[in-house]
Structure 1
Amino acid sequence: MRTQRLYPSTRFKVQVGFGKQGSSTDVGLEKIVWPSPNDEIPFWKKNFPSWDTGPAVPVDIKKDSDLMHIIHVTAEMAPIAKVGGLGDVVTGLARACLSRGHSVEIMLPFYECIQKQQITDLVLLTNYNSYHDGNWIPTNAYRGIVSDIPVIFIEPSNHFFKGRQVYGGSYNELEAYLFFSRACLEWMQVTGTQPDIIHVHEWQTGALPLLYWDMYTHLSLKKPRIVSTIHNMEHYGECRQEQLSKCGLDGSIYATTDKAVDDRTIGHNPERLSLLKGGIVYSNAVVTVSPTYLKETLNSGWLASTLIRSRDKYFGILNGIDAYMWNPAIDVFLPAKFHAERPKGKKICKYYVQRGLGLAPESTVAGHQVLDKPQKVPLIVCITRLVAQKGLHLITHAIKRTEELGGQIVVLGTASDGRVQNEFEGLANLHNQGPNVRILLMYR
C-alpha cells in the first residue's frame, strides 16, 4: 500500500537533525558492536536508548483555520501498545492534527503490559464508575504524554486488560472492549468533556457510536460527532445480542439489517451482531485507509451492501507516514544514520542486519572494504502479518525466486491461521540454515 507524508518535506531540518544526532562517520565503524547469530541475546532484543523515541510535534506547520478538539478511542497506539499498523496510524494522525493546531487526545486501555516508563508526566485524573453486566465497575483514568500526545488511560478495577500482551489475555476481549467503549463515554460525561470529534478505530470500539447516539446524547453529551476508521475489514467484531446487552444497551433492537445484524447469520438461530457494521451505521463519517481499499470494500465482502447504503459518508483517505518519527537521519534505533544526500549509513545498517542474521561473513571490520561484498547482494525484507490479504503466494514465490537469483530475503511475521503458520515453519526449517534466506516467525 502506498503512503503519503503527514507533514511537508523539510530537507533543511533533516540535515540539521542528522548533524546533531550523528552520521555514519560520526559513529565510526570501530565503535559499532557488530551482532552475530550466535549472540546469547539477538540484536533485536537488546536495550535501546529510549522507549519513546518520537520527536516533539513540529510547530512550524501551517495551522488550520477551523480548529477542533478531537479524541481518538482505540485499542492500539504506537509505541506503547502496538500490534499492527493500527497503532502507527493512530499515533501519526494524532501528531499530524496536533501540528496543525488542533487539540488532540487518545483514549487507550491501560493494559497491564504497558510499561509505565514509556509514559511521561503520568498522573491519576479521575476515579469513577462505569457500567458492565449489571455492575458499576470502579475505574481509574490516568493522563500521560506519549510521543508528544496527551493520552487518557482507562483502567478498570476488574480483570479486563490484564496480561503480558495487548491481545490474548485470559479475559473475554469482546466484553472488555464493550466495557472500554462505554467507559470512555462515561469519563467524558463525568468530567464534562465535550470534544468536537470522537474518532473510533476498528471493531473494538464499534459499540461506541451505538452507545453515544442511543444513550449518552440523552444524558449530557450533545456536541461530539463520530468518525469511524476501518483499518482491516477482515475482523467484524462478531457479537451475540446478550453480549452487547452487557454494556447497557438492549442487544435485541440492533438485530436488523439497517442496524448491526451480521448479514451472514440472517435466518440462523441465533443471529449474530457485528460491532464493525454497527459502528459504520451509527457514525457520522466512515473512513478507510485508501481510495483503492474503499473501492475493494464497496465491491466485495458481506459488508459491501452496508457501505453502499452509507456511500455519502464513506471516504477513502490514503494512510500517511510521520516523516519526523520515521526519519533515518535521527533514528536512535539505527547503528548508523543516513539521508538522501548522505546515504553511506544505509550500507552500514544493511550489513548490520546481514551480520546479525548470519547472512554475511563475520570478518574483522577494519575499514569500509569489508562492506563491499555483502552490499553487492540485494537484500529484500518483508515484515507483515501472514494472512491471505497480504498475498501469501507472492511471498512464498519471492522467497524461492530471490534465492534462485542469488539475492537475500528476510521474512518477519506470524500467522493467526495454524495451517499458514505450519507452512512457513516448514519453509523456515528448509531455508534458515542456508546463506540467503531467513524466515523469522516472531512478529505480532
Structure 2
Amino acid sequence: MEAMLHTQPTSIPSNCFSNSLLLPNRKSKSNIFYCFYNIKKKVKTLNHDFISHNFKIQAVDTNAPQLDFKKLEGSTTKSGYNSISWPSPEDEIPFWKREVPSWDITLEGPVDIKKDSDLMQIVHVTAEMAPIAKVGGLGDVVSGLARACLSRGHKVDVFLPFYECINKQHVKDLALVNTYDSYHDGSWVSTNAYRGVVSGIPVILVEPSNHFFKGQYVYGGSYNELEAYLFFSRACLEWMQVTGTQPDIIHVHEWQTGALPLLYWDMYHHLSLKKPRLVLTIHNMEHYGECSKEQFSKCGLDGSIYATEEKAVDDRTIGHNPERISLLKGGIVYSNAVVTVSPTYLKETLCSGWLAGTLIRHREKYCGILNGIDTGMWNPATDIFLPAKFDAHNIEEKKTCKHFVQRVLGLASEGHPMGSYAPNKVPLVVCITRLVPQKGLHLITHAIKYVKEIGGQMVVLGRTSDSRVEREFEALADLHNNGSSIRILLMYSEELSHMLYAAADMVLVPSIYEPCGLAQLIGMRYGAVPVVRKTGGLADTVFDMEDQSQPEMGNGFVFEGIDEASLNWALDRAFCYYREKPNEWSAIVQKVMGIDTSWNNTAGKYIDLYKSVRVRE
C-alpha cells in the first residue's frame, strides 16, 4: 500500500483510531478509508425513533498502518470478499439501511408444491403485515401463511388498516377501488378501500376519513386504539357486504380483530354474508382487548348483551362495577375454529391464565398449529440483504457474513486492530427481540456479561417502549459498546436482522414464555444454532443436543430454569461444542439449515382446518 499523507478530520474524536475500524472505499481510486466510531445519537428508522449506540462514517485519508489488508482479505473466501459491496464514506445512512426495494419483490412459492384441487377464497383481517406494517411476529405470520396458501392455488386477500405510516410507494399497483360508509358511534364514516400488492400478496387497505390510524407508528397513535380496531373490524365486513364478496374463510388475528366474529354472527350474517366461516388465531395471550360496554357499543352492537360469562365478559371483572368485555374472549366464543401457534403453548394456555376456563369449554374447536417462516423472504441463498450468499451445502460464505458484521460493527476479528481473534474460537451470539419482560430481560442482560466473560461476542438488536428498560440497556450499551465483544443496538432494522442471523453462530432466545417464537426458526434457517429456554413453541422446535432420549432430534441447546446458572449451563455447552468439536459443530449447522421450517406443512394444516369448517355449496 502506497504511503499517503495522514489527515485526520477534526470532527473525529481523538481516540477514534485506537478503537475503530478502517475499511476501504471501493468507489474511489484513491486510498480513502472510512472510520466507524462509536457515538450516541437519536435517529429514525422504520417509523420509530430510537436511541442507538451507532457507528458514524467519516472519510479519512490515511495509509492505515494498523491494518494489513492482505491478511484481512485472506481471512475470508476470495469470492465472498470480492462480492461484498462495502459501505462508502459518501453514505449518509447506516450500512444496513441501503436502498433495497424489498416491497417490490414477488416471492414465489416452492415449485414442488402441488396446487390444491379444492380451492377456497381466504381473507385475513389483521393489524399487522410484513414488511409494510410489522411490529412483531404477527406481521411475519400473516404474510407467510398468506403466501403459502397462494402458492397452493387459493385466492387470498389481506385486509389491513391503511396506517398513515405506511409508505404508499411500498405497495405495488396501489389503487382506490371504492369509497363506502361504515358505522361508528352513531354516525357513518366515509371510508376508502385501496387494492395493492405487497411482496406478491394481494392487500386491501382500509382508510377511514376520521382520525383513526393517523400517526407515525402502527400502534400508539393519539386516537383510541381499541375503538379504531372495533371500527376496522366492522369496516371490513361492511366492505364485503357492499361489494358482494363472500369468502369461504375470514381469518382474524389477535384481540384487534376479535370483535369481527361477534359482528359477523349477530349482524352481517343476518344481512347478506351467509357463506364465510370464522377462524381466530391467538398469537399471544398477553393482551385481551379489554373495553367497557359503552366502548364496545360504538361498533353498533349493544355491549351489555355480551357482558356475560358465556359470551365476552372479562372474567377478571365479574362482580366488579363496571364489568368489562374482552374482545379476545368474544372472538374465541364466536369463531368456528380457534388456533394458537404451537402445541405446547396450547397446553400451557389450557392450564393457566384467566381464559383457561373459556378455552376448556371450547376445547373441541381449539388446536395448536406451529408457525412456520417465510422461506422466500428468509433464505440465505438468495437474501438481498446479505454481503454473501450461502446454503446448507456451502456454508463457507457464512463466515464471510460473520466477518462483514464483525468489521462494520467494530467487533474483534482476525487482523482487526482492536484485538486478536482466533478463528473458530470466538462464537458470535445474537439476540434479536422486543425488549419486554416476556423475553427474559434479566437473562439477556446476564448473557451480555457472561458471553463476554467466557470469550464470546454478542449483538443485541431490539427496542422497547418502556423507559425504565430503555435506560437499563442504554447503560449497558455505554458500558460495552466501546469494546470489541459486545454491541447493543436499541432499534429494529429488518435489513440488519437479516445480516445478524447470517453472521451468527448462535441465536439466543431465553423467553420466560414464548407462544411460538420465530427467532429460533429464522436462526436455524441461517445456520445459527439456537440456545433457548424450554417453553411454548421453543419446546416444540428446539431439542437439546445432549438429550439421550431423542438423540436424532438434537438441534440446539436447551435450558429449563429462569435463573442465570441454567442459562450459563446452556451457553457453556454450546461454546464447548463450537470450540472443541468443530466437526460436530459444522454438522449441527448443516443439520439445522436442513430442517424444514417453512409454511409448507403448516399451511397444509391450516387448509385442512379451513376445509373442516367451511360451508360447501
Scaled by the length of structure 2, the TM-score of the pair is 0.64
Matches within 5 A, 1:328-343: 328-343=380-395
Out of 424, 442, 458, the residue aligned to residue 409 of structure 1 is 458
Deviation at 1:421, TM superposition (A): 2.9
Contact 1:56–1:147 at 8 Å: present in 2 too?
A: no
Matches within 5 A, 1:243-262: 243-262=295-314
Contact 1:351–1:371 at 8 Å: present in 2 too?
A: no
Out of 465, 472, 479, the residue aligned to residue 430 of structure 1 is 479
Out of 291, 295, 312, the residue aligned to residue 239 of structure 1 is 291
Contact 1:57–1:148 at 8 Å: present in 2 too?
A: no
Out of 164, 171, 177, the residue aligned to residue 125 of structure 1 is 177
- In structure 2, the partner of 1:388 is 437
Out of 438, 447, 466, the residue aligned to residue 398 of structure 1 is 447
- In structure 1, the partner of 2:212 is 160
Cα deviation code 1:117-141 (max 9, x no counterpart): 2111222111110011111111111
Deviation at 1:31, TM superposition (A): 5.4
Q: 2:276 and 2:203 mapped to 1: Cα distance? A: 18
Cα deviation code 1:194-240 (max 9, x no counterpart): 01100000111011011001110111111111000000110111111
SS in 1 for 2:256: helix
Question: Do structure 1's residue 314 and structure 2's residue 366 form an aligned pair?
Answer: yes
Give the aligned residue type for 2:228.
A
Contact 1:385–1:414 at 8 Å: present in 2 too?
A: yes
Deviation at 1:98, TM superposition (A): 1.0
SS in 1 for 2:150: helix
Q: 1:398 and 1:66 mapped to 2: Cα distance? A: 50
Q: 1:260 and 1:97 mapped to 2: Cα distance? A: 31
Give the aligned residue type for 1:86.
L
Give the aligned residue type for 2:313.
V
Which of the pair has more CA radius of gyration? 2
Deviation at 1:372, TM superposition (A): 7.7
Cα deviation code 1:157-177 (max 9, x no counterpart): 111111122111121111111
- In structure 2, the partner of 1:268 is 320
SS in 2 for 1:248: coil
Give the aligned residue type for 2:452.
E
Deviation at 1:112, TM superposition (A): 1.3
Q: 1:31 and 1:371 mapped to 2: Cα distance? A: 25
- In structure 2, the partner of 1:12 is none
How many correspondences in the alignment? 417
Deviation at 1:55, TM superposition (A): 1.7
Deviation at 1:310, TM superposition (A): 1.1
Cα deviation code 1:399-438 (max 9, x no counterpart): 1221111100111112333333332222222222222111
SS in 2 for 1:438: strand
Give the aligned residue type for 2:468.
R
Deviation at 1:36, TM superposition (A): 9.4
Q: 1:433 and 1:374 mapped to 2: Cα distance? A: 22
Question: Do structure 1's residue 282 and structure 2's residue 324 form an aligned pair?
Answer: no
Deviation at 1:354, TM superposition (A): 1.4
- In structure 2, the partner of 1:218 is 270
Q: 2:485 and 2:91 mapped to 1: Cα distance? A: 19
SS in 2 for 1:199: strand
Give the aligned residue type for 1:385.
R
Contact 1:336–1:346 at 8 Å: present in 2 too?
A: yes
Cα deviation code 1:289-315 (max 9, x no counterpart): 100110111111111111111111001
SS in 1 for 2:103: coil
Q: 1:181 and 1:382 mapped to 2: Cα distance? A: 35
Question: Do structure 1's residue 305 and structure 2's residue 354 form an aligned pair?
Answer: no
Out of 157, 162, 167, the residue aligned to residue 105 of structure 1 is 157
- In structure 2, the partner of 1:443 is 492
Scaled by the length of structure 1, the TM-score of the pair is 0.88
SS in 2 for 1:51: helix
% identical aligned pairs: 77
SS in 2 for 1:104: strand
Contact 2:104–2:172 at 8 Å: present in 1 too?
A: no
Q: 2:439 and 2:371 mapped to 1: Cα distance? A: 17
Change beyond 3 A, Cα 1:54–1:407: farther
Cα RMSD of the aligned pairs, angstroms, is 2.5
Instruction: Select between 78-87 and 344-353 the one with higher mean Cα deviation.
Output: 344-353
Out of 76, 81, 85, the residue aligned to residue 133 of structure 2 is 81
Matches within 5 A, 1:33-44: 33-35=85-87, 41-44=93-96
